[in-house]
A and B are shown apart, each in its own frame.
Chain A
């Protein structure tokens, strides 16, 4: 009988442990679905639940808070999601929290995410209805992504072509490979820099000058600023004008005079007119001129004769000698 008692104990342990595991398994599953422990019901209304199912997780700020108990149609556009939420979350979820449907991972199950908003509010009670907000659905996102992809492909294509063109262009590569280019570029920049400095200085000077002019320094300043000068200038101008006027009258007078002279010359009986008009006088003058020519010729002969006279011979000889000596000097120098 003792043997049977021992075997009974062993059998009891065996069966109990087997059933204990079964109960444990069922308890864990039940706990996952919030069947045990104290819970409360929260509701949220959506226009689209994106495939949320009973038993789906409910998270509050990413923490497991409960499960979806039921998804009910209220009317043709409103769907009410009933959630079982742990009672201990009651003192964290505000009434104005927003419920949204999101996906666990990229392609996982749908779940309800309750997100608190910044405005303060009282905490939820049993059967409260939260505001539902539909979020981006991956399925809706994909077509848009597709069009974006197409655009990107087009851009990439043209970019590729551009890069190829750049690659094929020798000029650009020559520029890029030119080692002196950076140096000259730097130099140019330096020059530009200096020029700018100079320009700045010039501008400063100009500014100073302008300031000086404004203050009335220098001649320009005086011109611009001195009122007496202006008056003087005005007077001078007036004078110039009057001079101009008198010059006008003077020219008119000169004109008259010239007219008179012309008339006199053309029609008068003076010498000038005679010179211009009288042919007899011309002949006479011609004759006189001939006579003068003849006179000069005979005078030349007389002079030649004089050279050979003893009185003047010595002088001419001396003159000739000095001429010759200067010539021979020139020859020896050569």
Chain B
């Protein structure tokens, strides 16, 4: 009975999220865009997340290089470390790690922000005052997430590769130019384009889940905390699911 209830709740939520998402497209297409609010959100979501994402990206690049190094050395393909790390970062680690950190930072903040607005009935007040709260709050944030995450992913890739370059130089000695020459020689359009495109979906998913959880927050103070928490958890899971779908699509398209 409980299982039945759980399944029912799961599908109910899935349907709810779908409707919420379709509402985004409907509302977003309507004229009179909230441009100033959109840019403000871009600044908060994109620019303010850069230090955190840059740090994690840098550490990922460095650590990945140092972890891979012994194995590569034992196979005698030390010279291919930049190639391997470059492909790993650009294809997978850059987008996914960035999206996860992004989900942790932005998903939770959107969930908490909208949740507290909901709890304090600010959203209802907005509706009364004639502003479309969905358009003002949700569309701007989701758009900002969708457009900012790819930029963050690109910057994170760059910082990760620099971290990887430093990682190579801890044990070995490689010139900056040669390192990036090897990296770019082994990269292909099929490595960059799918990764770049899927990061839009990651951003969109994080934005939508964060907004949904906040927008549908329960009454009470613990409702805000719950929204923030479940926004992070769900958006992280959705990021991985999108990643799974993306890899299938790139495989079918032969972009490997």
A255 interface contact, C-beta 8 A: no
Which A residue's beta carbon lies closest to that of B90?
A25
Binds B, one of A15-23, A90-98, A314-322: A15-23
Complex Cα distance, B191 from A30, in Å, reads: 12
B173 contact set on A, CB distance < 8 A:
none
- For window 1-60 of A, CB contacts with B under 8 Å fall at 4, 7-8, 10-11, 14-15, 17-19, 21-22, 25-26, 28-30, 32, 55
Pick from A10, A21, A32, A55: contact of B43, CB below 8 A. A10
State how many angstroms separate the Cβ of B156 from the closest Cβ of chain A: 9
The answer to whether A14 and B47 have CB atoms under 8 Å apart is yes
Majority secondary structure, A binding face: helix
Closest 5 pairs between A and B when the two form their complex, measured CB to CB = A18-B151, A28-B184, A18-B154, A7-B43, A14-B47
What residues of chain A have their CB less than 8 Å away from a CB belonging to chain B?
4, 7-8, 10-11, 14-15, 17-19, 21-22, 25-26, 28-30, 32, 55
The answer to whether A14 and B151 have CB atoms under 8 Å apart is yes
Which B residue's beta carbon lies closest to that of A14?
B47
What residues of chain B have their CB less than 8 Å away from a CB belonging to chain A?
36, 39-40, 42-43, 46-47, 50, 90, 148, 150-152, 154-155, 157-158, 180, 184-185, 187-189, 192, 196
Complex Cα distance, B148 from A30, in Å, reads: 25
| Contact A7:B155 (CB < 8 A) given known A18-B150, A28-B184, A32-B185 | no
Pick from A4, A10, A18, A30: contact of B155, CB below 8 A. A18
Complex Cα distance, B47 from A10, in Å, reads: 7
Q: 21 interchain pairs (CB within 8 A)? A: A4-B39, A7-B47, A8-B39, A10-B43, A14-B50, A14-B151, A15-B148, A15-B151, A18-B155, A21-B154, A21-B158, A22-B192, A22-B196, A25-B90, A25-B192, A26-B189, A26-B192, A28-B184, A29-B184, A29-B189, A32-B184
Extra A-B contacts (13), CB below 8 Å, given A11-B43, A11-B46: A4-B36, A4-B40, A7-B43, A10-B47, A17-B155, A21-B154, A21-B158, A22-B192, A25-B154, A28-B180, A28-B187, A32-B184, A55-B188
Complex Cα distance, B184 from A17, in Å, reads: 18
B150 contact set on A, CB distance < 8 A:
18, 22
